[in-house]
Amino acid sequence: MSPPVPPAPALAAEMQAAASEIYLLDAATLGIVDTNQAARLNLGHDAAALDALDFCAVAPTLDRAQLDDLLAGLGEEVGAQASLRASLQRADGSRYPVRLTFLRIVRDGRALLLAIADDLTLLDAAAQALVQSQARFDAVVRNTPGLVYQFVLYPDGRMDFPWLSDGCPALLGLSVSELQHDATLFERLILPEDRKGYVEAMAASRAALTAWNWEGRIWIDAWKDVKWINLRATPHAIEGGAVQWDGIMTNITASKHEQHEVLRSRARLAELTDHIEQVKEQERARIAREIHDDLGGNLTAIKMALSMLAARLPGDQPALLERANYLDDLVDRSIEAVHRISLDLRPTMLDLGIVAALEWQAREFEKQMGIACIFRGPDDDILLDDDHATALFRIFQEALTNIAKHAGATRVTVSLRRQRAHLTLEICDNGRGIVPSDRLKPQSFGLRGMSERAKALGGTLALSSAPGGGTMVTIKIRLAAPQLARDAAAFPHKSRQDD
């Protein structure tokens, strides 16, 4: 009777339940002796199908000569192991990457190999995603105008630039290695008058961990030139109490020059507008004087002549007397028209001072529009030169016109007061009020004209809601030093508190 055949070696229970694929192989033939459940599930073969295969059929990309050399390098020592990368093939023909680790073992006197396969699919996908992400990041940084950087500020005041993009030399005139070797070089580039703002902005961002946004000028010694740069960075705390900012610096020199040019252009345009207004007011005053003096004088002479003629007409010709009376009435109406047109062109009340002129205009508005208008002003006049007085008067006129046209008000309160070196005019109405969209209307030239006139006076015009509803217009202008001196000389009895 022949001796019983020993059972084929099998994987231990712990290996059968392992998450990694485990194969028990014949050391000589690489035939599959046993597999665990993970291997069978991943490959899609049952145990019987796998037992009929050798390991090279499962790993078709595995070079047998390379594997033999690898196994030969293990020697015959039990427990020795070696690893390589390969792909395993499923029953449906699909393949997946694995890391294979081979170990020599002996079971019942039989030389065996233990092959452990760790699936690299997720690891490879993650590595590929990382490569793609890095490629996208590099592309973004290469095409970003400026310098992308990381900056660290330590509790002891030390600074460091852990990472800088290749845009460093073009923007700062310093190499990456120079700035990483000595991070204080950047702060030394900043012009002294801008350095305080840079340090304060950094301290505020560090304290609150809020975005750091700063712009200022730097001196590039290599080019003997000044640049405007903008710095935007986001902070986060790191180990040891330090703060790291990730951000970008860009060259904004061109845009700054454009801004300055726009400001200069606006200033020149404002000067031109002010000059045109002054010339226009001067022309109005000249025309008003000529109308009043020449035309008014002629009409007065005509009236006197008509009166003399009417007195000499015979009493038995009533038709001629009626005609003379009609001409006399016509001359009276013409004289009134001349007076009204002259006042519209240049109110003679301005010759009596700005306080008297504004008070007169308030009374005229109340009389013509039927809207109660209360004026409160100082007892003494405030001396202004002709241009400033006329401009302030025109702003007041325009404000009253807007109230009459749009506000639907029944009451207007006007306040003129002097506060130290400023003159403030407030015009409040109890109308429907002004909404933000009113200020943005394309044809809102009245508001724009008032604002431009106020700017020409070196002052401001503000629109706000009036107490109890309606709108408040506040014009605030600064009195020039000569005006202050003239006021002090003209009204020495005025209390210092009013100033």
pLDDT tens-digit map of 446-460: 677 777 777 777 778
Whether 244 is in a domain gets the answer yes
Instruction: Give the single-character DSSP code of 407.
Output: I
Long-range contacts of 263-272 (CB under 8 A, 24+ apart): 270/452, 270/455, 270/456
Q: Are residues 167 and 114 in the same domain?
A: no
Whether 134 is in a domain gets the answer no
Report the distance separating Cα 365 and Cα 349, nearest Å.
15
Q: Are residues 390 and 488 in the same domain?
A: yes
Q: Which of residues 344, 363, 397 is at a domain's end?
A: 344
- DSSP string covering 212-262: EEEEEEEEETTTTEEEEEEEEEEEEE-GGG-EEEEEEEEE-HHHHHHHHHH
Q: What is the pLDDT of residues 316-373, one digit of tens each?
A: 677 777 787 788 788 778 877 777 777 677 677 777 788 888 888 889 888 888 888 8
Q: Are residues 50 and 157 in the same domain?
A: no
CATH of the domain at 376: 3.30.565.10
Half-sphere exposure of 262 (CA within 13 A, CB side): 6
H or E, element range at 490: helix 481-490
Q: Are residues 434 and 470 in the same domain?
A: yes
Q: What is the pLDDT of residues 131-167, one digit of tens each?
A: 887 778 777 767 667 899 999 999 999 999 999 998 8
Whether 2 is in a domain gets the answer no
H or E, element range at 428: strand 422-429
Whether 32 is in a domain gets the answer yes
Instruction: Give the single-character DSSP code of 20.
Output: S
So what's the pLDDT on residue 177? 93
| Owning domain of residue 195 | 144-251
Q: Are residues 412 and 487 in the same domain?
A: yes
Q: Which of 449, 446, 422, 423 has its CA nearest to residue 434?
A: 446
Report the distance separating Cα 252 and Cα 254, nearest Å.
6
Half-sphere exposure of 238 (CA within 13 A, CB side): 13
Contact 310, 339 (CB under 8 A): no
Q: Are residues 357 and 487 in the same domain?
A: yes
Q: Are residues 164 and 118 in the same domain?
A: no
So what's the pLDDT on residue 420? 76
Report the distance separating Cα 392 and Cα 424, nearest Å.
10
Q: Are residues 223 and 282 in the same domain?
A: no
Q: Which residues pair with 26 in a beta bridge?
A: 112
Whether 363 is in a domain gets the answer yes
Q: Are residues 323 and 285 in the same domain?
A: yes
Report the distance separating Cα 126 and Cα 52, nearest Å.
35
Contact 160, 151 (CB under 8 A): yes
Q: Are residues 179 and 294 in the same domain?
A: no
Edge-to-edge order in the sheet of strand 212-220: 159-164, 147-153, 243-251, 225-237, 212-220
Dihedral sign (CA 393, 395, 400, 401): positive
So what's the pLDDT on residue 317? 73
Contact 55, 114 (CB under 8 A): no
Whether 445 is in a domain gets the answer yes
Report the distance separating Cα 256 and Cα 195, nearest Å.
18
Number of compact structural domains in the chain: 4
So what's the pLDDT on residue 196? 94
Q: Are residues 384 and 485 in the same domain?
A: yes
Contact 470, 409 (CB under 8 A): yes
Q: Which of residues 251, 266, 296 is at a domain's end?
A: 251
Residue 146 in tokens:
């400026």
Whether 50 is in a domain gets the answer yes
Report the distance separating Cα 98 and Cα 389, nearest Å.
91
CATH of the domain at 59: 3.30.450.20
Whether 172 is in a domain gets the answer yes
Contact 334, 299 (CB under 8 A): yes
Query: What stretches in the chain show pLDDT beneath 70?
Result: 1-7, 76, 141, 143-144, 274, 277, 281, 288, 292-293, 315-316, 343, 346, 435-446, 480-499
Q: Which of residues 310, 344, 378 is at a domain's end?
A: 344
Exposed/middle/buried for residue 3 (C-beta within 10 Å: 0-12, 13-18, 19+): exposed
Q: Are residues 39 and 54 in the same domain?
A: yes
H or E, element range at 391: helix 386-402
Contacts for 441 with CB less than 8 Å, ≥ 6 apart: none
Long-range contacts of 246-251 (CB under 8 A, 24+ apart): 246/149, 246/150, 247/148, 247/149, 247/151, 247/212, 248/144, 248/146, 248/147, 248/148, 248/149, 249/146, 249/147, 249/149, 249/171, 249/172, 250/145, 250/146, 250/147, 250/171, 251/145, 251/146, 251/171, 251/227
